[in-house]
Each structure stands twice: as structure tokens, then as C-alpha cells.
């Protein structure tokens, strides 16, 4: 267990043996690192997304008998039934990670140039999807369960030429914090984790990899500690993970 190189801030022996985590978006850039770290901590992991090809590629890269994959579309009409069947198959979930994102087809565009169709598509892909996942999945988490949404700094900052993405980031931050407040002390623990730049496969392919960025697996190490309850941030609903060396923090980074 814990064969990943652990950052200095991490606990050496996070053990999730016997726990089951669902990672929606598990074949995505950040999701893959999260899946790796949860597997490394001993969890069974179910990686979900719309593309069976991407999920198969993930499985062949990670090659773990504790990794399961499933096709799941957050916007599908039958999402609730699909989630119920999945929860029955896996005996419920101890943790759910929502790592879902879409940049849409509009490219970089000034806010007021967005068409109605582009606006609707961005809201559906990044906001309605998250709400529908929460509504379907929270009933399948026990009171000791954990739900995490991964989000970006555009939840807090203006994001010129990507206004549709930024507004949905801000909206889902609100959604997650509201859910955390509603369930505080009596339901699964709900976390909003806002990330800085993460080094992903897509960034490498695009030639914009930045070695100062956070590794997806480092995000996953933080989430594993939240699930285990060993993170010093276990009691805080809002986290920022922007500074690779410092690790996750309960406060927003200082900005010039």
C-alpha cells in the first residue's frame, strides 16, 4: 500500500482497505490521478464516465483488480435508476468524487458573444450534471460517507473568454457548500476542493505541461485522507489545493 511517492504534507499510512469509492470523471485528467491514489490507499474504486473507450484505456493503464469501470452519463434521463443499480452492485459507496468538466464547443469567446445554445450547453454540462449527480448519489452514501467536488479557481475569479465555464464553477461551488451546510453533522461529509493547475495527460499532449503544477495523484492523496478522516482539514467543507509544496489548505490563496 502507498507505493506512490507521498508529498511531505501527507500521512504515510492512509488505509482505505474495504472502502469503495466512486469517481465520476475517473478517466479524466484529474480523475485518473485520484483513482490511482485511492487504489494505492487500498480502496475498491469504481471509475465512471460516458466513454467506454476512455474507461477501458484507464483500466489497461492502471491494471488493478480493485478497479471497476462503468459507463454513466450525469445528464441521462435514467441517471437515478443507473446509480441505484450501480450502488446495489457495489454495496453502496463510502466515497463519491465528482470530477466532471466540459469546456464546450464554443472555444474561447467573449461572454456576450455566447449564443443561447452555447450557454445552455455549458450550464447543462457543468452545472446541471453536478446537481443531478448529487441528487442521485447522496442517498447511496452512508452517514459516515464522503462526497467531494473537484473545482477550479474560476469558481472565485473572473475568467475572460471562458465566462460560461467560470459561472458554472462558481455555481457548483455554491451548490456544494449549500449541501454541506444542509447535511452538516447528520449526513455524509461534503467537501468542495478548489484546485490550481493540475498536470494532466491532456496538458502534456497539448505541450503546456508545467512542472510546478499539482499531480492528479497528489489531489487523490488528499481525498484519501479525507475519506480516512486523517486529514487536518477533515472538519472544513471548503479546501484549496493550489500550492504544490504546501499542499491542501483551508483558506484561499493570497492574490496580488
**What residues make contact with ligand NAP under the rule CB under 6 A?**
24-25, 27-31, 49-51, 54, 72-75, 99-102, 125, 129, 150-152, 195, 197-198, 200, 202
CA 243 to each of CA 34, 62, 201, 215, 253: distance values in angstroms, whole numbers, following the listed order:
17, 27, 20, 11, 8
Would you say 24 or 87 has its CB closer to ligand NAP? Answer: 24
Would you say 106 or 151 has its CB closer to ligand NAP? Answer: 151
Pairing mode, if any, of strands 189-195 and 238-241?
parallel
Q: How far is the CB of 124 from ligand NAP (least distance, A)?
A: 8
Q: How far is the CB of 186 from ligand NAP (least distance, A)?
A: 27
Q: Does residue 97 contact residue 33 with C-beta atoms inside 8 Å?
A: no
Q: Does residue 94 contact residue 144 with C-beta atoms inside 8 Å?
A: yes
Would you say 143 or 202 has its CB closer to ligand NAP? Answer: 202
Q: Where are the beta strands (DSSP E) in the chain?
A: 20-24, 44-49, 67-71, 93-98, 141-152, 189-195, 198-199, 214-215, 238-241
Would you say 15 or 238 has its CB closer to ligand NAP? Answer: 238
Reported as type and span, the H/E element at residue 57 is: helix 52-62
Q: How far is the CB of 250 from ligand NAP (least distance, A)?
A: 18
Q: How far is the CB of 73 from ligand NAP (least distance, A)?
A: 5
Q: How far is the CB of 14 from ligand NAP (least distance, A)?
A: 21
> In sequence order, which residues have a C-beta less than 8 Å from that of residue 98 and are 6 or more positions away?
24, 25, 130, 133, 134, 147, 148, 149, 150
Would you say 42 or 123 has its CB closer to ligand NAP? Answer: 123
Q: How far is the CB of 163 from ligand NAP (least distance, A)?
A: 15
Q: For the chain, what is the radius of gyration of the CA atoms?
A: 17
Alpha-carbon distance of 145 to 138, in angstroms, equals 9
Would you say 102 or 249 has its CB closer to ligand NAP? Answer: 102
Return the residue nearest ligand NAP (CB atom).
28
Amino acid at each position: 500500500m502507498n507505493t506512490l511517492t507521498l508529498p511531505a504534507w501527507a500521512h504515510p499510512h492512509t488505509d482505505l482497505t474495504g472502502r469503495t469509492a466512486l469517481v465520476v470523471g475517473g478517466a479524466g485528467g484529474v480523475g485518473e490521478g485520484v483513482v490511482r491514489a485511492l487504489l494505492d490507499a487500498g480502496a475498491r474504486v469504481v471509475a465512471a464516465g460516458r466513454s467506454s473507450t476512455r474507461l477501458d484505456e484507464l483500466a489497461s493503464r492502471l491494471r488493478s483488480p480493485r478497479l471497476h469501470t462503468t459507463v454513466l452519463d450525469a445528464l441521462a434521463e435514467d441517471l437515478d435508476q443507473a446509480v441505484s443499480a450501480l450502488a446495489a452492485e457495489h454495496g453502496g459507496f463510502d466515497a463519491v468524487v465528482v470530477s466532471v468538466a466540459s469546456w464546450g464547443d464554443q472555444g474561447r469567446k467573449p461572454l456576450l458573444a455566447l449564443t443561447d445554445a452555447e450557454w445552455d450547453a455549458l450550464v447543462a454540462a457543468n452545472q446541471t450534471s453536478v446537481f443531478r449527480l448529487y441528487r442521485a448519489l447522496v442517498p447511496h452514501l452512508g452517514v459516515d460517507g464522503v462526497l467531494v467536488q473537484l473545482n477550479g479557481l474560476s469558481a472565485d475569479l473572473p475568467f475572460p473568454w471562458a465566462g460560461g465555464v467560470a459561472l458554472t464553477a462558481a455555481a457548483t461551488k455554491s451548490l456544494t457548500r449549500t449541501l454541506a451546510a444542509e447535511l452538516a453533522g447528520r449526513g455524509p461529509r461534503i467537501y468542495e476542493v478548489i484546485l490550481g493547475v493540475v498536470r494532466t495527460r491532456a496538458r502534456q499532449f497539448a505541450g503546456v505541461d508545467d512542472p510546478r503544477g499539482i499531480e492528479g495523484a497528489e489531489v487523490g492523496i488528499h481525498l484519501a485522507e479525507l475519506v480516512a478522516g486523517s486529514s487536518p482539514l477533515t472538519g472544513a467543507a471548503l479546501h484549496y489545493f493550489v500550492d504544490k509544496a504546501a499542499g491542501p489548505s483551508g483558506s484561499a490563496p493570497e492574490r496580488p
